[in-house]
Amino acid sequence: MILPVRRILACGLAASLLGLAWLYPQAAQPQKKPAPQPQESRPTFKVQSNLVLVDCTVRDRKGNLIRDLRKEDFTIYEDGVAQDIVTFSLESIPTSAETAPESAPPPEPAKTAAAPAPAAAPKPGIVNFSAPGAERKKEELKDRRLVVLFFDLASLTTEDLIRSVTTAEGFVTKKATPHDLIAIATYSSTLQLVQDLTNDREVLLDTLKHMNPTESGSAADEDLGDPDTSDDTFVPDDVQFNIFNTDRRLSALETVAKAYREFPERKSLIYFSSGMTTTGIENQSQIRSTVDVANQSNMSIYTVDSRGLQALPPGGGASRGGAGGRAMFTGDAMSRQMANLSSSQETLTTLAADTGGTAF
C-alpha cells in the first residue's frame, strides 16, 4: 500500500518534533555540581602557661637591703630547669613605723548664713577605698603593703575577740606605716567588708573600736564523757552542721581572696579565729579551693589562734567543764581533749603553710 507523500512527510515531521521535545528538557536542566569533598580536620594542640609572681628580698651579710638589682641578677629554676623572667620590678617599702602625714588645719571661712558646710578635704597622702566616690586605682598601690584583718566572729568567743581586737589595734598603732593599706573584714553568718583598704589610722582604730563583743560566737562543745551510753540517751548529731559551718568559713576566706585578685601586689590576710575543726575528708575540697584561689590571688594567709597557749586540766577549768564517768579516771577524756585541740589547729596550719604564710 502506497501512502501519499504528504501523509508520510507529516508523520516524519511529527516524529521529529516529539524527539526534539524530549531532548529539550534534558538540555535545559542545569548540570549538578559535584559535592565538595570534606576537608580533613586538623588537630589543635593548646598549651597553657601560668605567670607566677615570685617575691624576693635580698640582704647583704650585715642584714641591709640590697636595692641596685636588675633582672639579670636573678635565675629561677623549676624542677631543675631554668625559667624565663618575663617582668621584673623593684619595690622599696619602708619597714619602720612612721607618723602618718597630717595636713595643717585650713583657715576658718567667713561665717555666712546661706553658705553650706564645706565637705571635709581629704588628707594628703591618705588613701581610703571606702570613701564616698573613691575608686580603686592600681597606681595608688605602687610600693605599698596590702593587709586584710579578718575576724571570724563565728568561732571567736568574747574573750578571744577582745584579745584579737587589742592585738590588731597594737599592729595598726605601732607596726603599720603610711605605706601599708589595711582592710577589715568580719564573718559571723555572712561576710562583711567593714573597711576597705586605707592607711588612715584614725579610721582603722575607730572601726576596730566598734567591734561588738556581743556578736562573737561561743566555744564548741566537746563530748569528753564515756562513749558507752544507754539506748535511751539522746545524743544529737552535729556532724553535718559542723561540715556546713566549716565550709562556709572557708568559703568566706575564698571570697575575700577573689575580691582582691585584680591587684597583682603581694597581699597578706591575718585570720583571727579560735580554731577550725574539719570532719574527715568532707571539707578537703573546700580547703583545696580556698588555698588555690589564695595562691592565684597572690595572697598569703597568716592564721592566729586567739585562744593562745591553753592549759588542759584533766578535771576541767573555769572556762571548760570536765568530763564525767569513767573517762575522767581512765585518761580517755584527756586524750580526746588533746585530739580535739590538735584537730582545731591543723586546718589553721594547713591554710598558712600552703599559701606561704605562718600560723601563730
pLDDT score at 12: 53
- The answer to whether residue 101 scores a pLDDT higher than 50 is no
Q: What totals of helices (H) and strands (E) does the chain contain, helices first?
A: 7, 7
- Report how far residue 70's alpha carbon sits from residue 279's, in angstroms, rounded to the nearest whole number: 48
pLDDT score at 106: 45
pLDDT score at 145: 84
| Residue 79 Cα distances to 73, 86, 192, 195, 298, angstroms | 20, 18, 41, 42, 21
The mean of the pLDDT values for the chain is 73
1 falls in which pLDDT band (50, 70, 90)?
very low
- The answer to whether residue 165 scores a pLDDT higher than 80 is yes
pLDDT in tens, 27-85: 455 566 666 666 777 888 888 777 777 778 888 888 888 888 888 888 888 888 888 88
332 grid coordinates: 580517755
Select, from the ranges 103-112, 114-123, 265-274, 342-351, the one with the highest average predicted confidence (pLDDT): 265-274
Cβ-count burial 278-309 (b if 16+ within 10 Å, e if not)? beeeebeebbeebbebbbebbbbbbbbbbbee
Counting Cβ atoms within 10 Å, is residue 259 exposed (0-12), middle (13-18) or buried (19+)?
middle
pLDDT score at 94: 66
287 grid coordinates: 580547703
pLDDT score at 217: 52
Section 93-122 average pLDDT: 49
Q: For cell 574573750, name the residue.
A: 159
103 falls in which pLDDT band (50, 70, 90)?
very low
State the pTM of this model.
0.66
pLDDT score at 149: 92
Query: Closest Cα partner for 153 from 211, 239, 209, 204?
Result: 211
Query: Which tops the pLDDT comparison, 97 or 160?
Result: 160
pLDDT score at 329: 59
- Range with the lowest mean pLDDT among 115-119, 257-261, 303-307? 115-119
- Range with the lowest mean pLDDT among 10-24, 82-96, 287-301? 10-24
118 falls in which pLDDT band (50, 70, 90)?
very low
pLDDT in tens, 179-216: 888 899 998 888 888 888 888 888 889 888 888 766 55
pLDDT in tens, 201-254: 888 898 888 887 665 555 554 544 444 444 444 445 566 667 777 888 888 999
pLDDT in tens, 282-340: 778 888 888 888 888 888 999 988 887 776 666 666 666 666 666 565 666 666 767 67
Query: Which tops the pLDDT comparison, 11 or 188?
Result: 188
Q: Which domains does the chain have, with CATH numbers?
A: 139-220+237-312+347-354 (3.40.50.410)
- Report how far residue 307's alpha carbon sits from residue 163's, in angstroms, rounded to the nearest whole number: 9
- Report how far residue 159's alpha carbon sits from residue 228's, in angstroms, rounded to the nearest whole number: 34
- Report how far residue 271's alpha carbon sits from residue 302's, in angstroms, rounded to the nearest whole number: 6
261 falls in which pLDDT band (50, 70, 90)?
confident
Section 92-98 average pLDDT: 62
Query: Closest Cα partner for 137 from 181, 93, 76?
Result: 181
- The answer to whether residue 99 scores a pLDDT higher than 50 is no
3-state secondary structure of 137: coil
Query: Which tops the pLDDT comparison, 150 or 176?
Result: 150
